[in-house]
Amino acid sequence: MADLIDLHIHSTASDGSHTPSEVVTLAKEQGLSALSLTDHDTLAGLTDAEEKAKELNIEFIRGCELSAKYLDTDVHVLGLYVPKDKALLQDLEKELAVFIERRNTRNKKIITKLQEHHVDITLEEVEKEAGGNVIARPHFANVLVQKGVVANTKEAFEKYLAKGKLAFVEREVISPHHAVSLLKEAKAVPVLAHSKLIKCTEQEYFNLIEELIPLGLKGLEVYHSVHSFDDERYYLGVAQKYHLCISGGSDFHGKSKPDIKIGTGRGSLRVPAGILDGIKNSACYQC
């Protein structure tokens, strides 16, 4: 699998179950030639992952994934080739600090709702489960399973954590337009993630892309675990139509999404290493 890569991976720095160094090891064991760590709204795991990648001689792309909202649907924007330069990262890191504070406020509200429904759970327990600086709903789900409140994480979401359920609290997030602008200013490569999960009409989707391109959108995630072969062909056509570079990744999280593996997704994912050239050529330091 030396000609394959994975540019969408999560670790314990956000809501994954493997440490940054562990995901690099998994990628190496899968025979991948390159990977990107793209944790939600944080850069916290990049140093550890990069050091492990050097040790294992596998190409590493510094990344992140920013959470946004557009027309009442979740939109995620990947940042690839995130630089190390603190001056370039200043505005992005300020916004990420705000993200963390908003998540903390939301998490407290989720705890309150769970307790109101007679669930014996504390924020400290969820923080311990998270282990990192980003606490997300999968961490709540894991604690609920551990305490015997639900049988599995699927039930945790269906009963308590999914939208409209007993303990759901809406996130306060930025627009994808702001996300793209932040990443461009930081000299990262902004990539629109898993388009099939963006719940809007085709025209609204095209409108979004057309609005984001002048702000710095450079790529489209064509290959993803939720994309079928037909989806891949469709989004490849979209990327070509708008002259966007092609990206792809498994969206690996570990035990919260046990059917998704690094490099292969649900078994059929194949992200060719050749797409890296297009992404590198789109790097914003060349803009």
CA angle 264, 267, 268 (to 5 degrees): 85
Give the confidence band of 2 by pLDDT, cuts at 50, 70, 90.
low
216 vs 180: CA distance, rounded Å: 6
- Structure-model confidence comparison of residues 113 and 134, the more confident one: 113
DSSP state of 91: H
Give the confidence band of 287 by pLDDT, cuts at 50, 70, 90.
very low
Whether 180 contacts 220, CB under 8 Å:
no
Answer whether residue 1 shows pLDDT above 50: no
Phi-psi region at 72: left, alpha or beta (left = phi > 0; alpha = psi -120 to 50):
left
Answer whether residue 203 shows pLDDT above 90: yes
pLDDT per residue as tens digits for the range 50-67: 999 999 999 999 999 999
pLDDT for 23 equals 98
User: Which residues are CB-contacts of 129 (< 8 A; sequence separation ≥ 6)?
Assistant: 139, 142, 143, 146
Tell me the three state secondary structure of residue 190: strand
Which residues, in sequence order, are bridge partners of residue 46?
Answer: none
CB atoms within 10 A of CB 151: 10
* Least reliable range by pLDDT among 115-124, 135-144, 178-187: 135-144
pLDDT per residue as tens digits for the range 125-166: 999 998 766 788 989 999 999 999 999 999 999 999 999 999
pLDDT for 76 equals 98
205 vs 275: CA distance, rounded Å: 23
> Could you give the C-alpha distances from 31 to 3, 116, 184, in angstroms and in order?
9, 48, 31
Tell me the three state secondary structure of residue 245: strand
Question: If you count them, how many residues does the chain have?
Answer: 287
CA angle 171, 247, 232 (to 5 degrees): 95
Q: What is the pTM of this model?
A: 0.90
Whether 244 contacts 220, CB under 8 Å:
yes
Answer whether residue 217 shows pLDDT above 90: yes
At 154, phi and psi to the nearest 5? -60, -45
pLDDT for 285 equals 45
